[in-house]
Chain A
Amino acid sequence: MSAASTAAVSTVVLPAFVAVVGLPLARRSPVWGREWAVLGGVATLAAALVEAWAVYTAGGATRVPFLGSLDLGSGRIALDLRADALSATVAVLVGLVALCVQVYSTAYLAEIPDDPVEQAPTRYPAYAATVSLFTAAMMTVVHADDLVLLLLGWEVMGACSYLLVGHHSERAAARAAAVKAFLVTRVGDLGVLLAVVLLLAATGTTSIPGVLAAAPGLPPGTTLAAALLLLAGVAGKSAQFPLHTWLPDAMEGPTPVSALIHAATMVAAGVYLVVRLLPLFLAAPDALTVAAVVASVTMLGAALAAVAQEDLKRLLAWSTVSQVAYMLGGVAVARSANAGAPAVLHLLSHGAFKALLFLVAGCIAHLVGSTLLRDMGGLRVTHPPLAGLLALGLAALVGLPPLAGFWSKEAVLSAAEAATETVGWPAQLVLVSGLLTTLVTGAYAGRALAIVAFGDPPAAPARIVPAADRLVDGRVDGPIDPVAEHYPDEDDHDGLVPDAPGALEAHAQGAVLPPAMTWPLWALAVPAVLLGLVLVHPPDALRDVHIDLLTALAGTALSVAGLTWGLGAVTAQPNRDAAAALPVALRTFLRDGYRLDDLQTTLVVRPYAALARLVRTEDGAVVDGYVRAVPVLARWGSVLLARAQSGLATGYLAWLAVGAVLVGVVGVVLS
């Protein structure tokens, strides 16, 4: 077994092992549990790096035996892994972000033993184990050489996402968000399952190379159906319109989880799936057209929604939806088997800078005690390094040269521009939508930076909470969050303002970030800045990245324009919110995500709930009715029969005689 194969298997097995062992270990000893989880992250990253090194020096390995094979009679399913340039590249990103998140979480979810305020349990052991399990599942998806194995990892990812979004299960909002995330992504996952079954029926194999080799020869209807079903799964997992509604709500989870799962890795898995199965999609160009339309709608719509968010994490979540749509748009204009490179590059750079942004947001929330933008401000003064990292991440998000986001975003736009002649209107749509989105991205990034970093620290700082787990993820007023259950320190900052004159100083200097929460930021800042350097010597997975000068200039100019607008409000003290320029109705509409949740409630949730109530009523009244009728009927029957029990022996004999006569008559008649 080559080094690449061993490393590929290790990336999957190590985090799974760490998850299984870590749970009882962390219960027994919190210190060792933390060390173990971080050690697992280091080992996974090391395995991914070894795999990448082996793949890029000695070539990849396909068909790495992993779980043996299933003989189904009608076909043989070989549960193999593969280690090629694409999987190794993405595996390094996953390993890096997972390690940073594990380190960060040790501080973020730390128990404060002598905390005077009663705090919610952090449940760190279950948390760390689930993150490790998620890493294993993501690595399975990345390395899978077989659709069934891929589906396995895909579903485990969804389950881990559910568990982690609902980690603070004492909060009703977290529970609701977890259920929503699970159900909405499950709608898409059904598509993947059906697509796998369809491909197995059509090609007789679920091996990815086998399916891809057979794809051009299949009937067009089959490939189109399979591609569209897969696209449904991609839309669910990658939070694309119209299945994107779960992602902003998923911000109820702990912030490191948002960084790992809902920004860097799992939401990118949908795009990864399209890149991996690109030959199948190329055999069904109509599916790629649908993907292009979905991506165009999502990227611009989500960016506009991000402009009006009042919560930093939700802003970043909408930004994630928008940026993942960039990746999908980049792969949707591809017309050759290795044209997914711009999307992969954007996947990598987005993973780095968005994880950085989320972890920075977690630090800010840790300091401020809230994720609401209105509670933030003056970070430039209070925590200059943090403000610098935030600016760096936002600049990478906007795509300022020479940061990572610039290269990847312009690569996507250039690919769309280059494809306008071969692909036609879908590519033009992606290009126009992408250029507009850069403008809007600049606007919301500038707005966030203006609010968080500039100005004065808020005059009424939220409660300073030492443990981030007790901090309250901000709530958006309005129909997004029909949550009745509130913790006392939620949304009630007005009543809790410390009246002491030293509160501001305490806010400015008292809260110090633990080192475990700062160095992952610097570790992630490195790729967020320097990822463009890989294009000097592009690895195989990124070979086909070209950047068109004109497109890059236009994109950068639009980004800067948007950024200027967003930052322009800095001078207009005291209102640093650029979005205040928008009409209130429009802001509310955008903040609530176009009220799609209301539409979803009306179209899906209410009818479904009504159906469930109907079924429950039927079950209670009809099905249970049969069971309940048995004793009632038996009692009536016994009352009736007891009347015949006269105690008179001759009476019984009379009944016997009547019966005998009846039997005789029946016998005579029937004979």
Chain B
Amino acid sequence: MIHLAGPVILAAVLAGAGVYGLLARRNAVLVLVGAELLVAAAGVLFVAASALPAGGLAALERPGAPPGSVPAADPLLSGQVLTVFAVTIAAAEVGLALAVILLLFRVRRTSDLAAVRELGEASPTYSEDPAAALPPGPVPSGSLPSGDVR
């Protein structure tokens, strides 16, 4: 049995890296990676917590309890089950997000999130008609018709 600090620190590092990726990165793919890191941190915490006995940390640190009398963990392993479930969903989510990013790149030739702010009412490039705000230039063949982009 390993110490609880390992998984928790791992989760903290993952979450911190994920938040950094979400907030500081401008590339859409890296923002997506940051989100995946947050999901992974949550999964690590789930697995670690499912190894704890019923009653959680309080049950472990009960003063005066004879060693070896730690209550059994949850036999259904619900944390691990949930994590597997989340990983499955995260896989589907990544597929969807990558498809969106791919479309964005096809239309705009960029995956920089700071360059596509036309929908924000407070942004300097806001317009009621986003199609008119498309940058001039050839739209590569194979992309969707502009009507669908809108």
Chain A residues with CB under 8 Å of chain B are: 642-650, 653-654, 657
Restricting to B65-124, which residues have a CB under 8 Å from any CB of A? Answer: 113-114, 116-123
Do A647 and B122 have beta carbons less than 8 Å apart?
yes
Does residue B47 face the partner (Cβ distance < 8 Å to A)? Answer: no
Do B123 and A657 have beta carbons less than 8 Å apart?
no
A44 to B134 CA separation, bound complex (whole angstroms): 91
Shortest C-beta distance, A643 to chain B (Å), equals 5
Contacts of B44 in A (CB 8 A): none
Contacts of B122 in A (CB 8 A): 642-647
Contacts of A647 in B (CB 8 A): 116-123, 125-126
A657 to B25 CA separation, bound complex (whole angstroms): 15
Do A645 and B120 have beta carbons less than 8 Å apart?
yes
Contacts of B120 in A (CB 8 A): 645-648
Contacts of A645 in B (CB 8 A): 120-123
Contacts of B23 in A (CB 8 A): 650, 653-654, 657
Shortest C-beta distance, A635 to chain B (Å), equals 14
A653 to B23 CA separation, bound complex (whole angstroms): 7
Shortest C-beta distance, B116 to chain A (Å), equals 8
- Report 20 cross-chain contacts, Cβ distance below 8 Å, ordered by A residue: A642-B121, A642-B122, A645-B120, A646-B117, A646-B120, A646-B122, A647-B117, A647-B118, A647-B119, A648-B113, A648-B123, A649-B28, A649-B31, A650-B23, A650-B26, A650-B31, A650-B113, A654-B23, A657-B19, A657-B23
Contact residues of B: prevailing secondary structure = loop
Q: Interface range on chain B: under 10, 10 to 19, 20 to 34, or 35 or more?
A: 20 to 34
A467 to B131 CA separation, bound complex (whole angstroms): 80
Do A648 and B19 have beta carbons less than 8 Å apart?
no
A647 to B125 CA separation, bound complex (whole angstroms): 9
Chain B positions 3 through 36: 1 when the CB is less than 8 Å from some CB of chain A, otherwise 0: 0000000000000000100111110100100000
A90 to B108 CA separation, bound complex (whole angstroms): 100
Contacts of B26 in A (CB 8 A): 650
Contacts of B31 in A (CB 8 A): 649-650, 653
Shortest C-beta distance, B117 to chain A (Å), equals 3
Residue of A nearest to B119 (CB): A647
3 tightest A-B contacts by CB?
Answer: A647-B120, A647-B117, A647-B123
A19 to B118 CA separation, bound complex (whole angstroms): 75
Query: Could you list 20 further interchain pairs (A-B, Cβ under 8 angstroms) beyond the known A647-B126, A649-B28, A653-B23?
Result: A642-B121, A642-B122, A645-B122, A645-B123, A646-B117, A646-B120, A646-B122, A646-B123, A647-B119, A647-B122, A647-B123, A648-B113, A648-B120, A649-B31, A650-B22, A650-B23, A650-B24, A650-B26, A657-B19, A657-B22
Contacts of A650 in B (CB 8 A): 22-26, 31, 113-114
Contacts of A653 in B (CB 8 A): 22-23, 31
Contacts of A644 in B (CB 8 A): 122
Contacts of B125 in A (CB 8 A): 647
Residue of B nearest to A653 (CB): B22
Contacts of B123 in A (CB 8 A): 645-648
Residue of A nearest to B120 (CB): A647
A646 to B113 CA separation, bound complex (whole angstroms): 12
A499 to B38 CA separation, bound complex (whole angstroms): 110
A574 to B29 CA separation, bound complex (whole angstroms): 117
